[in-house]
Structures are given as structure tokens and as C-alpha cells.
Amino acid sequence: METDALITNQSEELDAIINKYPGEKRYIMAIMHDISRHFNYLPRQALEATAQYTGVPFSQVYSMATFYKAFSLVPRGRVHFKVCDGTTCHIKGSQIIIDEICSRLNIKPGETTADLQFSLETVNCIGACAIAPALLANGKVHPHLNAAGIRQVIAEYGGPEYGKKE
Amino acid sequence: MGKKSKRKQVLVCCGTGCIANGGLDVYQAFKNNPGGLFELASSDDIKATGCHGLCSSGPFVRILPDDITYCQVKAGDVEEIIEKSIKGNELIKRLLYRDPQSKKRVQNLEKVAFNSMQLKKALRNVGLINPESLQDYLDRQGYQALRKALKMKPEAVVQEIIDAGLRGRGGGGFPTGLKWKACQATTSTPKYIVCNGDEGDPGAFMDESIMEGDPHNILEGMLICAYTVGAAKGFIYVRDEYAGSVAALTKAISDAREHGFMGDNILGSGLNFDIEIVRGGGAFVCGEETALLASIEGNVGEPWDKYVFPTEKGLWGQPTVINNVETWSNVPLILLEGAKKFASTGTAGSKGTKVFSLVGKVVNTGLVEVPMGTSLRDIIFTIGGGVPGKRKFKAVQTGGPSGGCIPESLLDLKVDFDSLGQAGSMMGSGGMIVMDDRTCMVEVARYYLQFLAGESCGKCVPCREGIRSMLEILERICNGGGCLQDLDLLEDIGETVKTAALCALGRTAPNPVLSTLKYFRDEYLEHIVNHRCPAGVCKELSEFYIDAELCNGCGLCAKNCPVDAVQGEKKQPHVIDNSKCIKCGECINDCQFLAVKVR
């Protein structure tokens, strides 16, 4: 990424998010959740603003942002795949799904494609064990996947160039 | 219920599993009022409920009072259901549940083996009420337990919980009443009540279904505790992934406030109590109570040493009662039916029921609630319907990443807190994952260790370094580079971590390794000595082939192979081209004749 600074109206949006909460340490996580939802990741400037607002050292806010799995310090794709790798999904073949996504999109878990279309994350359990293996694409559940199924899902969200492997 | 019971009610399951299969579309289709449905029923009688339990056959539509349950319903079926079964009295056979044992279609799902062996206590309202409706909860004795408690002395309420023998359902199994009593005895104020809804065990969704399906029940449990220990503030810590739970709880809290069940001077008793929801950040260690408290305070979720229990010094150093979702949902029931009745179910050391999420390689996947002391065999084979297809049962994993794998020889084990511990596993929060012969036990151990390595907070050395070393060894074995000394080393490190780690996460982390080593040592040996993965999971150590004598050339595997590695003429034995094969196992899963084998 060339620059991490937010443009003007984004700064206003950021203020609006932060100001919803009292300026206390215990609201840091809630603020980060809302920022993450709005910007699709945690921009540095947003973390700095959060630290200042809650009166907590930036290093502590940063350590929370990296400790909790729900947060990402790099922008996520327009389509964010959360592949469930809970135990049930795992023994029903989630590794196959992850491998397929990695090889087709050329990204690893935690990464985003260069055109910001896709990002991949593995999560521990989405509570959908009865329909394993499953993945969430921008929050929508795709149940009972296999190697062929995940190709369809990729094609569905990314157009033909992602559907076929070079 | 009075006059209400004669009216037709439609319950549409909108639990996570059913939503993924189109449950919301079905609900919306009823709400669109096709064919003048609301001439018969008011819109309140069409309910989107929480999980029915039998997730593998959803979405469900249940019609009361006739008690007809239709399964795998699609939005397109709704008009027909209204015409035939709601306006008329006709059954639609094709939508009825087909009992896997008798092969017959069943009208009343409560009578099939999956349900008839269950005893719904914690889940008593889930699937029957609209979780968004306070009235629905009130109709089922909601907040009666609170009214009753408020008329009792706080000490008497605690005694009732102690007498009931309720133990913490989150996994620890600590007697809930004693926890309350300890907090009651402290004089320091303020005190806090916390609900642990950070259900982090992969493969478990019991708490989610209660939070989503019966949120007021949890609030009532917390209110009763607040009264007994004298707390004014409560927190519910929910995984952020559970958007439905957060929404249901938020609505429930605001409704409870509006109707005087929460806030100041609750029901005129002088009790002041309010609850705030805290969304978790997706860290498994936060299911550990001290880490969870640290997280609520706005810190990274690192556990602290429990020389002093949270009941004395918890949240912000103040006395805190922290219980799991399922524990809270048992509390109102104990007050309603009395400690004696509650304690009449279960075993000597574990009273009441336990909810399990029965998942994995089992026919009926979903949520089950059974009396403590039910055997694993009954849960997996009678309720669960056994392993699907012609596959063979291998193990059941209980207790999440901290639990262990239990082999077939121990299936008659009566499940309670103590028996599972003795078998080298644990109750945990109630995940129960069934594994068949297509599951590699070495890889399962590797999976859990990889999970725990990522979730170890890194504060203490035995957990941080021990898990990583064990993981390295297991990866080596799975890739074919293991040696026999590795097994001794694993046991050695495992015992050390078990003894020396700071919190329960670390102390139980070696369980998956030690239990698989104990019961499935031959699989480890097969990997190390013969460089072969019998289940065909470890890609480096397996190669698939088709047994020409068993293959009848149906072509299903060839059709489904994602890389066209299976070739052959129709009705002739097929062959696998191993240069193309990506070892995804699709062909093995497809084959009805068990012709695809692992070399």
C-alpha cells in the first residue's frame, strides 16, 4: 500500500465511530470492531485516534489489534472468505478448500489479492458444524463444499478470470 | 396458554444451520401471507425460532397444535403447506422426516429416536419460542423463577443451587452454588456477574443456540445471581462471529428493561441490575475465565494466576461470578422445579443434563441434550444414527482442543464430568465430534496442536514452547519424517506441559496427543514405520487406487473428480492417474462400494 493516511471524509467517519463510545479503556475492543467493519481493516491512523481518545498508549492498542484474531492490519478484499477450519469442517475436508483457494487465487490465509478483490482467512468455528465443510463469503454461508464446489464459489464472486486456473 | 392453543402456529427454524439452507426464505414466504394465511392466524403465530436440533435435515417447519414437522422445506413448498396442512388437515408425505431406522415417514418429530432419548432442560424453550418475543418467554413461565427468588432470602437461593448439584457447563465442572456462596460471602463492592458466551471450541455451537434461541433465559439466570450476591452490573461476553446471538441478546436486554425486569428497582423489589454486551475478539484463550475478564477490562486476553479466585478478586479486582451460558440457562429451571427434582436426573457426581453438539461423521448432526450418565453409544448410535454410509466408527472426540479421543472399546462409558476425565478426555463445553475410518488420528492431534499453538497467549513458557515442539514433531510424522523416538519425546513434553502450564489451556493442551497415543498408537507406528496413512489424509503418505474387483464402473467418482484423474469406460473398473490426483478424497467419499482404497 502506498499510503495509509485516511482522506478527509474518512477522518470524519472515524470520529463518528469513536465518539459513539465513552473515552474509557474498556471500549477499545468495541471501537476496533466498528472501525474494522467500516473500513474492512484497522488503519494505523484509526488505531492512533483510538489510543488518544481512550487515553491508552498506542503500543497497548496495537498489541490488542494483533492479539485478537478478529482484526486485520491490512485491507481485506471486497470478497472476504472466512473458511471454517473448526474440527468438524477439518475432518470433513476444509484443508482441501483452503488449498484450492490458495492455489487459485495465489494468496495464503491472512492475505489479500493484489487487486483487492479477494482475501482469505481461516476461522475456528462458525457454528455451522451440521453443514460442514462451510465457508463464509462476506457473511453468506456456503455449505457442504468440496474441491469442485469451492471453484464454483470463486467463480461466482470473481468472474471467469478467477474460475479457471492458468 | 388457554384459547391460544387452539390457533394454528407455524414455527420456522432459523438457527445457523437452517439459515444456511434457506430457512429465512421459508420464514419470509410464510410472512408474505400467501393464500390469506393470516385469516387463520395472526402474524405473531408465524415464529422464526432458534435451533430445532436436528440440523442435518433443516430447514424445519413445525405446525402446532397438530404437531406436524416438515423437514428440508424450501420457500416454494410454503403455499402447498398452507393449503394442505394449515387450512386443511392433510399431510404432505414427501416433506415428512424419514426415520433412518424404520425407513418410515414420521409426522411428529418428537417421537423419533433422535428426540425421544433426549431431555430438554437448558434447551427447553429453544425452537419453541420466537427469541425476539418477551411475551413468548413469559408464556413459558418466563421470569417466574426470578419472582420466586426475590421472595426468598439470598442465602436460601444459593442453597437451592448448591442442593441441585449444578456444575459449571463450560468445561471446568466447578459447583456453581459454591461459586455463588463464595462471592456472597465477600463484603467488597461493587460486585459483577459475567456470562461466558465466548464459545471457542471448534465444533461446538450449544451456547450459540441458547443465546440465539432463548436469550431471556440467560438474563433471568444472571438476575437471580445478581440478587443473591448483591451485584448491580453484569456483562455478557459473546464471540463476535455470533452476530445472531448479539442481536438476540441486545433485543432481549432492551425488552427486559422496558418491562421492569432489568434496570432500577426490578419488579418493585429494590434490586438494581443491568447487563452490557461485550463482543469478543476471536481468541480461544478468552474462554478461560481470567483471560475473559482481562479482555472485558480492555486488555489483551491473557489469563492470570488463580491464587485468588474471581469470586474474590475478578473484574477490576472486584468480586465476580462468572458462569457459562448453559449454566445460566439451568438456573431459572432449578428455582422453578426445585433442587430435588433437578438433582433427580444425572449421576452421583454430575446432576441434570448436558447439551452436546453432535457433529462430524454421524447421520443425525445437530444439538442434543441428554441426562448426565447417558452412554456414548446411545448418543452416537441411537440418537445420532451412527456413522453414515458403510464407513466404520473410529473415535469420538469430546471436550474441544483440550479434550481427547475416545476409542470404540470405551463407547459404553456413561458420560459425565468425572468419567470422561478418567478416560483421558474431558467434558469441555460439550463438543462431540464423531470420526470414522477416513479420519487420521495423527493428523487430528496435529490439527489440535496447530490450533492451540495459534491460540496460546505466549505468557508462560511450558505452553508456548511445549505446544510448538509437539506440533513440530507431529508435522514431521504426518510428512513421513518421523522416527520411533518421537513418540517418547511427545509423551515426555506432553507430561511436562500438563504439569507446568499457567492456565487450563496449557494444562490440557497435550490431551489430544496423549489420548491418541494411548488409544491409536498403531496409527502413529503405521506413519513412522511403514510410511503410510491408513485413512488417506496425510497427502505425503497416501496414494489412492481403485480395487478392480469392487468397482462396478458407475462412474460417479470420475464425474466428481475435480482434476479428471479418474478414468475408465462405463461399467468397467476405473483407474486413478496418480500424476493428476490432488488427493482430495472426493472419490473415496463418493464410492458406495468402498472400491477406492488407500495404498
Which domain CATH number covers B473? 1.20.1440.230
Mean pLDDT of B159-170: 95
Burial class (CB in 10 A: 0-12, 13-18, 19+), B169: buried
* pLDDT score at A57: 96
Q: Amino acid identity, residue B518?
A: K
**In contact, B53 and B365? CB cutoff 8 Å:** no
The pLDDT assigned to B3 comes to 43
Domain that residue B66 falls in: 2-112
- Find the CATH number of the domain harbouring B553: 3.30.70.20
Residue with cell 476471536: B282
- Cα angle B153-B156-B157, degrees, rounded to a multiple of 5: 90
CB atoms within 10 A of CB B93: 9
Domains of chain A: 8-67 (1.10.10), 79-163 (3.40.30.10)
* Least Cα separation, residue A63 to chain B (angstroms): 7
CA A136 to mean position of chain CA atoms: 11
Q: Same domain for B397 and B506?
A: no
Mean pLDDT computed over every residue of chain B:
91
Is residue B263 pLDDT above 80, yes or no? yes
Domain count, chain B: 5
B202 and A67 in contact by Cβ < 8 A? no
Last residue of a domain, one of B401, B436, B471: B436
CB atoms within 10 A of CB B54: 27
| Structure confidence by residue, pLDDT tens digits, B42-92 | 777 888 998 888 888 889 999 988 889 999 999 999 989 988 888 888 999
Q: Measured between alpha carbons, how far is B111 from B513 in angstroms, rounded to an integer?
A: 40
Asked if B313 and B299 sit in the same domain, the reply is yes
Tell me which of B499, B529, B559 is where a domain ends. B529
The shares of helix, strand and coil residues in chain A, as percent rounded to the nearest 5, are: 50, 10, 40
- Does B281 sit within 8 Å of A88, measured CB to CB? no
pLDDT of residue B1: 38
Same domain, B259 and B385: no
**Could you tell me the sign of the dihedral formed by the alpha carbons of A130, B218, B237, B184, in that order?**
negative
Four-CA torsion B169, B174, B180, B181, nearest 10 degrees: 150
Three-class HEC string of B121-183: CCCCCCCCCCCCCHHHHHHCCCCHHHHHHHHCCHHHHHHHHHHHCCECCCCCCCEHHHHHHHH
Torsion of Cα atoms, B290 then B293 then B299 then B300, to 10°:
50
Residue-level pLDDT at A65: 95
Signed CA dihedral, B314, B315, B318, B319: sign only: negative
The C-alpha of B16 sits at a distance from chain A's nearest C-alpha, in angstroms, of: 6
Compute the distance between CA of residue B116 and CA of residue B97 in angstroms, rounded to an integer: 14
The band of A165, judged by pLDDT with boundaries at 50, 70 and 90, is very low
CA distance B39 to B41: 6
B31 and B52 both lie in a single domain: yes
What letter does residue B270 receive in the DSSP assignment? T
pLDDT band at B112 (very low <50, low <70, confident <90, very high): confident
Shared domain for B148 and B239, answered yes or no, is: yes
Q: For position B307, which CATH number holds?
A: 3.40.50.11540
Instruction: Say whether the peptide bond before residue B512 is cis (omega within 30 degrees of 0).
Output: no
Q: Is B348 within a domain?
A: no
Beta bridge partners of B596: B546
DSSP state, B37? G
Nearest by CB: A86 against B203, B243, B589: B203
Residue B146 — very low, low, confident or very high, per pLDDT cuts 50/70/90? very high
Write down the pLDDT at residue B27: 92
- Assess whether pLDDT exceeds 90 at residue B320: yes
Of B297, B301, B589, the CB nearest to A67: B301
Is B310 in CB contact (< 8 Å) with chain A? no
Q: Is the pLDDT of residue A3 over 60?
A: no
Could B205 and A28 be called an inter-chain contact, meaning their C-beta atoms sit closer than 8 Å? Answer: no
Q: Helix, strand, coil proportions of chain B in percent (round to 5)?
A: 45, 15, 40
Pick from B54, B17, B52: which is nearest to B366 by CA? Answer: B54
Neighbours of B349 (CB within 10 A): 14
Q: What is the pTM of this model?
A: 0.89
A29, A61, A129, B91, B438 from B25: Cα distances, Å: 34, 41, 21, 22, 35
On the question of pLDDT at B346 being above 70, the answer is: yes
Same-domain pairing of B276 and B384: no
The whole-number average pLDDT for the span B348-371 is 92
Q: Kind and range of the H or E element at A91?
A: helix A87-91
Residue B407: exposed, middle, or buried by beta-carbon count in 10 A (0-12, 13-18, 19+)? middle
Note whether B514 and B497 are within 8 A (CB): no
Q: Which of residues 80-139 of A touch B (CB under 8 A)?
A: 85-93, 96, 99, 123-132, 134, 139
By percentage, how much of chain B surpasses pLDDT 90?
65
